[in-house]
């Protein structure tokens, strides 16, 4: 009996969630767009919904949306680049030290100038 009443209560609760779905939604002129639109429609018609201060005409509203929208791109001028380290190789040829030990040829690499970012700062590009 408890199982049957819990199933009945769950069904009653779920039917309450579906109430009002057959009615018209109240989304008129949300964000300046007349009527209800999906996010895909907004993306496709971004120029149509641009805030120009004018209401869109009926002809523009029924225009067939394009499948692809081009995004404005920034120029790559000032794009940050990383410079290389300036490294110098110093070769120490074989020798015998004061204690009489033989020291073989050794290569030592010295960084003369560290690498760095040049051009447009990275933090500026993160904001794009």
Q: What is the pLDDT of residues 64-75, one digit of tens each?
A: 555 566 665 555
Tell me whether residue 98 is in a domain. Answer: yes
Task: Give per-residue pLDDT as tens, 74-97.
Answer: 555 556 678 889 999 999 999 999
The answer to whether residue 72 sits within a structural domain is no
Strands (E), the chain: 81-82, 86-92, 95-96, 102-103, 106-113, 117-118
Would you say 45 and 68 are in contact if contact means Cβ atoms under 8 Å apart?
no
Question: In terms of pTM, does the model score above 0.75?
Answer: no
| CA gap 55, 33 in Å, rounded | 9
Structural domain range at position 104? 81-126
Tens digits of per-residue pLDDT, 31-44? 566 667 677 776 67
Residue 104 lies in a domain: yes
Pair 7, 56 in one domain: yes
Number of domains in the chain: 2
């Amino acid at each position: 009996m408890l199982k049957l009443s819990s199933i009945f209560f769950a069904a009653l609760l779920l039917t309450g969630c579906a109430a009002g779905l057959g009615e018209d939604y109240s989304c008129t002129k949300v964000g300046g767009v007349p009527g209800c639109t999906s996010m895909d429609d907004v993306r496709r018609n971004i120029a149509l919904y641009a805030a120009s201060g004018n209401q869109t005409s009926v002809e523009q509203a029924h225009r067939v949306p394009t499948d692809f929208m081009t995004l404005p791109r920034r120029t790559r001028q000032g794009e940050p680049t990383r410079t290389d380290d300036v490294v110098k190789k110093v070769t120490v040829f074989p020798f015998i030290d004061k204690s009489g030990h033989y020291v073989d040829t050794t290569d030592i690499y010295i960084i003369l100038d560290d690498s760095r970012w040049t051009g447009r700062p990275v933090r500026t590009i993160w904001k794009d």
